[in-house]
Amino acid sequence: MTARQSPGIRRPRLVAPALMLVSGATISLAALVGQGGFAALSCGAVTLVAAAGYYVLGGRDSDAGAAVGGRADERQLSAITVARAAAGMATQVCVAGYLVVAAAVGSPPWPAVVVGAAALLGAGAHLARGDRDLGLRSPGRPDERQAIHRVQTLAAAGDWSGMAALVGYATSLALGRGPWHFLVFILVGVAAFGITLAVGSAGGHAEG
Amino acid sequence: MRNRMRELRSERALSQAEVAAALQVSRQTVIAIETGRYSPSLPLAFRIAHFFGSTVDDMFEPVDDEVLR
């Protein structure tokens, strides 16, 4: 592969599958505690297939392969950040929708509150680390730096809301409660991430 | 941003993969730059110019709406 390798990581292609295995093992354990052996085995099987899929995808000569394989160059890293931001925005739209439906049917809104609060915390933590100029007070369009900073802030919000949804999903499984509320947020975020990355990478043709 | 990357690469009979390896970027990124879908960062623009024995000014030309009037 041709892109710059991450310094300090000998086998970057293994990072994503390893993270998938760790997350999947945690969720499988939670399922074992709260739902029983069959649910845990199902989660374990899905995890193994997903980790194997990530490993195979990480070896492909494509933008998605570079992203999953840990060898993304500057353009691909930028596309990944935009996709993370899109996942964050889609999750927040889902949170808003959830709150409306929960208010309408009288169900507890806390899963959406947890995921929404995590997004706010993520954005706040990102802004607290340094540059806070998002260009919101400036007239007209944001300049290049402000636009990039907005996307990075949204990406941080997306990361935190995704993590909150994952933790919420595992916790709900372990407590034997319906985990579907959190699964909706996870699926919406993953779909938005994948679609944005695919659309951003489309076009152009290879030669030579 | 228009650029002369494809033209200079063809003159030197280099493949996109060879240029990508030399610049330490992916082949997809070389394609994106050549087709004008991606404007490289300043450090990468300098690497490209250096690789082709040219200057950033000579390699890249902004299109009309990218020039501040």
Residue B66 pLDDT more than 50?
yes
Q: Is A35 an interface residue toward B (CB < 8 Å)?
A: no
Q: Which of B17, B29, B31 is nearest residue A73 as measured by Cβ atoms?
A: B29
Residue A6 pLDDT more than 90?
no
**Residues of A in Cβ contact (< 8 Å) with B20:** 2-3
Instruction: Give the separation between CA A43 and CA A22, rounded to whole angstroms.
Output: 12
Residue A147 has which token pair?
């636009």
Predicted local distance difference test score (pLDDT) of residue A24: 93
More confident residue, B65 or A143: A143
Residue B57 has which token pair?
């000014």
Instruction: Give the separation between CA B48 and CA B28, rounded to whole angstroms.
Output: 15
**Minimal Cα distance from B10: which residue of A?**
A208
**How many contacts, defined by CB atoms under 8 Å, are there between A and B?**
65
The structure's pTM equals 0.83
Q: Which of B25, B31, B41, B42 to mutate to test the interface with A (most CBs of A within 10 A)?
A: B25
If pLDDT is split at 50, 70 and 90, which confidence band does A1 have? Answer: very low
Residue A2 pLDDT more than 60?
no
Q: Of A35-44, A86-95, A156-165, A170-179, which range is least confident?
A: A170-179
Predicted local distance difference test score (pLDDT) of residue A131: 72
Instruction: Give the separation between CA A168 and CA A117, rounded to whole angstroms.
Output: 13
> What values do phi and psi take at B60, rounded to 5?
-120, 140
pLDDT digits (tens, 9 = 90+) for A33-53: 888 889 899 999 999 999 999
Predicted local distance difference test score (pLDDT) of residue A118: 96
